[in-house]
Chain A
Amino acid sequence: VKSKSVVPVEEFDWGRYICSNNLVGAPVTCFKHVPLCTFWSDVTEGVRVEVLNSDTNLSTKVYWIAGIVKLAGFKALLRYEGFDNDSSHDFWCNLCVPEIHPVGWCASNGKPLVPPKSIQHKCSNWKAFLVKRLTGAKTLPSDFSVKVHESTQYPFKKLMRVEVVDKTHLCRTRVALVEQVIGGRLRLVYEESQDGTDDFWCHMYSPLIHSIGWSRSIGHRFKRSDVSKKIEGLTDAPSQLFLKVKDVDQSGDWFKDNMKLEAIDPLNLSAICVATVRKVLADGYLMIGIDGSEAADGSDWFCYHSTSPSIFPAGFCEINSIELTPPRGYSKLPFKWFDYLRETGSRAAPVKLFNKDVPNHGFREGMKLEAVDLMEPRLVCVATITRIVHRLLRIHFDGWEDEYDQWVDCESPDLYPVGWCQLTGYQLQPPAAQATRE
């Protein structure tokens, strides 16, 4: 398992990074699980806002109007009205911070709009100038700050109990308590942890967490807690808070034990591997083993739902020119499915059983974003989409070698737009410098 260490946090400036390299941030509308996703299609270049005027000698806080020049996730490059084509005073701002307001907010709150001193001499009639510039232009809705506040409230609360994958034995779940909620990401502490440090980070929509009783209901392995001390205030997280999976019909032609397929290796998300259905559970869940690297006791089998975008029919990699990782120790290379199935006396899982939906996700290669390092899931890092195969995204962590890349679904709740960390107060891991990596 390859994992990264925390990079010392220095000031990372997304705006400078984007501008100096002429980069593109993935739009907020690509991330269905983040605040304001459905609203953000109305936030475009040219939209005007009221923002603090930092170019003034006045001692009191004054504001001026700025227009959006460029967007990168939640961040916008703004230009004060009056600078026309002069970009020298452009500045980046997260549009969801309390200092950004719709046009009209200043008047409602008794704050005067004062032009920046660099351009004060340029115009003798600012009223006429503003009427001309603003009439017919777009601004944010008057309840923008309410929308920001409402969309950053989360239903999971501290001391709620959940079932979560055991990070040391992927084949089983354990009970954990919600210890912290940041931006919908949960820090879960396993119930038997003595000092509260045995924890696991995941998003509240992660397929790795479930309501209490889920494991028993589908026949999944579960590590029973032996907790002697009862903590006051514990509640089981209500089942409606968890991600719903599609209902599937297991009665007809269905996955069977020993069927072969291709799967993202949960211990090396850079690799898609030859894999086997080890056990068929209820409600469409499957225990999958990675061929050639399974523990004898099945302790590294992993639970994927049959509709998971992380499992593929045999031949998926070849069709899409992705390198398929053959079983460890398999010497007959290049790997050929036809030969392997014959040699192992097994059959491939039918193509029709896999999820073939490809959402119109909007991601493009080269787009920048903030992505969880799923090998160290408390870390949210500066990242780039380097390849797109249908709904599958190849995520590269800026400054790190390609071997740390991860295959992630386009609807993964572990992907966030530029500025998400700043919005939620989560710590962002900047691109690694060569010296840090060493």
Chain B
Amino acid sequence: AAESTGRKWEQKQVQIKTLEGEFSVTMWASDDKK
């Protein structure tokens, strides 16, 4: 759906902060096409 509306899904490194510390995970988020 993102493709047809002028956006694309991109993999993003997302930072997570818990009381035990910080780490990152790879998630998908749609973004406007550059």
Residue ranges of A at the interface with B (Cβ–Cβ < 8 Å): 38-39, 41-42, 48, 102-104, 106-108, 110-114, 126-127, 130-131, 134-142
Contacts and interface: CB of A to CB of B under 8 A. Distances in A.
Given A136-B26, A140-B29, 20 more contacts: A38-B5, A42-B2, A42-B9, A42-B30, A104-B14, A106-B17, A112-B19, A126-B20, A127-B16, A127-B20, A127-B21, A131-B23, A131-B25, A134-B16, A135-B25, A135-B27, A137-B27, A138-B29, A139-B14, A141-B29
Contacts of B5: 38-39, 41-42
Contact of A104 (B16, B18, B20): B16
Nearest to A140: B29
Contacts of B7: 39, 42
A81 B9 CA distance: 23
A107 B13 CA distance: 12
A48 B9 CA distance: 15
A418 B2 CA distance: 22
B29 A137 contact: no
A107 B17 contact: yes
Contacts of B23: 127, 131
Chain B interface mostly helix, strand, loop or mixed? strand
Contacts of A110: 17
A141 B30 contact: yes
A138 B25 contact: no
A131 B1 CA distance: 26
Contact of B28 (A104, A107, A114, A137): A137
Interface of B: 1-2, 4-7, 9, 12, 14-23, 25-31
Contacts of B2: 41-42
Contacts of B22: 107
A114 B19 contact: yes
Contacts of B19: 112, 114
Nearest to A135: B25
A184 B26 CA distance: 38
A134 B17 contact: no
8 contacts: A38-B6, A41-B4, A42-B7, A103-B27, A106-B16, A112-B17, A139-B28, A140-B29
A136 B1 contact: no
A113 B17 contact: yes
Given A42-B7, A141-B30, A112 B1 contact: no
Contacts of A127: 16, 18, 20-21, 23
A39 B1 CA distance: 9
A316 to B, nearest CB: 32
A250 B7 CA distance: 40
Contacts of A108: 15
A140 B29 CA distance: 6
B18 A126 contact: yes
A49 B26 CA distance: 14
B30 A135 contact: no
Contacts of A38: 5-6
Contacts of A142: 12, 29
B19 to A, nearest CB: 5
A136 B18 contact: no
B16 A130 contact: yes
Contacts of A135: 25-27
Nearest to B27: A139
B17 A111 contact: yes
A294 B18 CA distance: 71
A113 B18 contact: yes
A108 B5 CA distance: 28
Given A38-B6, A39-B5, A107 B16 contact: yes
B6 to A, nearest CB: 7
Contact of A138 (B16, B21, B27): B27
